[in-house]
Amino acid sequence: MPGPIQSIERAAAILRLLASGARKMGVGELATALGLPKGTVHGILRTLQHVGFVEQSQDTGKYQLGAALFHIGSSYLDANELRTRALNWSDSLAARSKESVRIGTLHEGQVLVVHHVFRPDNSSQVLEVGALLPAHASALGRVLLANDPLGQPAGAELAGFTPYTCTDPDQLRQLLAETKSRGWAAEVEEMVEGEVSVAAPIRDRRGVTVGAIGISGPIERLCDPDRAPRTELVSYVREAARAISRDLGAIPW
Amino acid sequence: MPGPIQSIERAAAILRLLASGARKMGVGELATALGLPKGTVHGILRTLQHVGFVEQSQDTGKYQLGAALFHIGSSYLDANELRTRALNWSDSLAARSKESVRIGTLHEGQVLVVHHVFRPDNSSQVLEVGALLPAHASALGRVLLANDPLGQPAGAELAGFTPYTCTDPDQLRQLLAETKSRGWAAEVEEMVEGEVSVAAPIRDRRGVTVGAIGISGPIERLCDPDRAPRTELVSYVREAARAISRDLGAIPW
DNA sequence: GATGGGTGTTCGGCAATGTCGAACGCGGGT
DNA sequence: ACCCGCGTTCGACATTGCCGAACACCCATC
- For residue A38, name the pLDDT band (cuts at 50, 70, 90): confident
pLDDT of A252 > 80? The answer is: no
Q: What is the pLDDT of residue B96?
A: 93
CA geometry: angle A20, A25, A30, nearest 5 deg: 85
User: What is the second-level CATH architecture of the domain B6-73?
Assistant: Orthogonal Bundle (1.10)
Q: What residues of chain B lie within 8 A of the CB of A13, using their CB? A: 51
Cα distance between residue B91 and residue A125, in whole Å? 10
Q: Can you give the distance from the CA of residue A10 to the C1' of nucleotide C17 in angstroms?
A: 14
Locate the domains of chain A by residue range: 6-73, 75-247
Q: Can you give the distance from the CA of residue B29 to the C1' of nucleotide C28 in angstroms?
A: 19
Residues B49-96: tens digit of each pLDDT: 999 999 988 777 789 999 999 999 998 988 888 888 888 899 999 999
Cβ of A55 less than 7 A from strand C = no
Strand D bases with any atom < 7 A from protein Cβ: 5-12, 16-22
Q: What residues of chain B lie within 8 A of the CB of A91, using their CB? A: 124
Q: Which nucleotide is nearest to B39 (CA to C1')?
A: C20
Q: Can you give the distance from the CA of residue A183 to the C1' of nucleotide D14 in angstroms?
A: 59
Q: Which residue in chain A has the smallest CA separation from B126? A: A87
Q: How many residues does chain A have?
A: 253
Q: Can you give the distance from the CA of residue A1 to the C1' of nucleotide D2 in angstroms?
A: 32
Residues B26-54: tens digit of each pLDDT: 888 888 889 888 889 999 999 999 999 99
Q: Which residue in chain A has the smallest CA separation from B47? A: A4
Cα distance between residue A11 and residue A8, in whole Å? 5
Q: What is the pLDDT of residue B139?
A: 97
Cβ of B2 less than 7 A from strand C = yes
Q: What is the pLDDT of residue B108?
A: 86
pLDDT above 70 covers a percentage of chain B that reads: 93
Ramachandran category for residue A115: left, alpha or beta (phi over 0 → left; psi -120 to 50 → alpha): beta
Number of H helices, E strands in chain B: 10, 8
How large is the average pLDDT for residues A198-221?
92
- For residue B253, name the pLDDT band (cuts at 50, 70, 90): low
Q: How many residues does chain B have?
A: 253
**Yes or no, beta carbons of A46 and B4 under 8 Å apart:** yes
Q: Which residues contact B85 (CB under 8 A, 6 or more apart)?
A: B244, B247, B248
Helical H runs in chain B?
6-21, 27-34, 38-50, 67-74, 76-79, 81-97, 139-146, 169-182, 219-222, 231-247
Q: Which residues pair with B111 in a beta bridge?
A: B106, B133
Q: Are A130 and A102 in contact (CB under 8 A)?
A: no
Strand C bases with any atom < 7 A from protein Cβ: 6-13, 17-23
Q: What residues of chain A lie within 8 A of the CB of B76, using their CB? A: 19, 65-67, 69-70, 73
Residues B123-154: tens digit of each pLDDT: 667 788 999 999 999 999 999 999 987 766 55
Residues A86-112: tens digit of each pLDDT: 888 999 999 999 999 999 999 988 999
Mean of pLDDT over chain B: 89
Cβ of B28 less than 7 A from strand C = no
Higher-pLDDT residue of A191 and A62 is A191
How large is the average pLDDT for residues A100-128?
87
C-alpha distance from A82 to closest chain B C-alpha (Å): 12
Question: Residue B111: which H helix or E strand, with range?
Answer: strand B110-117
CATH superfamily of B75-247: GAF domain (3.30.450.40)
Mean of pLDDT over chain A: 89
Strand D nearby residues, CB < 7 A: A 1-2, 6-7, 10, 36-40, 43-44; B 1, 3, 5-8, 26-29, 38-39, 42-43, 45-46, 56, 61-62
How large is the average pLDDT for residues B177-206?
93
Whose CA is nearest the C1' atom of nucleotide C8?
A61
Q: What is the pLDDT of residue A60?
A: 79
Of the candidates A11, A52, A73, the beta carbon closest to that of B74 is on A73
- For residue A23, name the pLDDT band (cuts at 50, 70, 90): confident
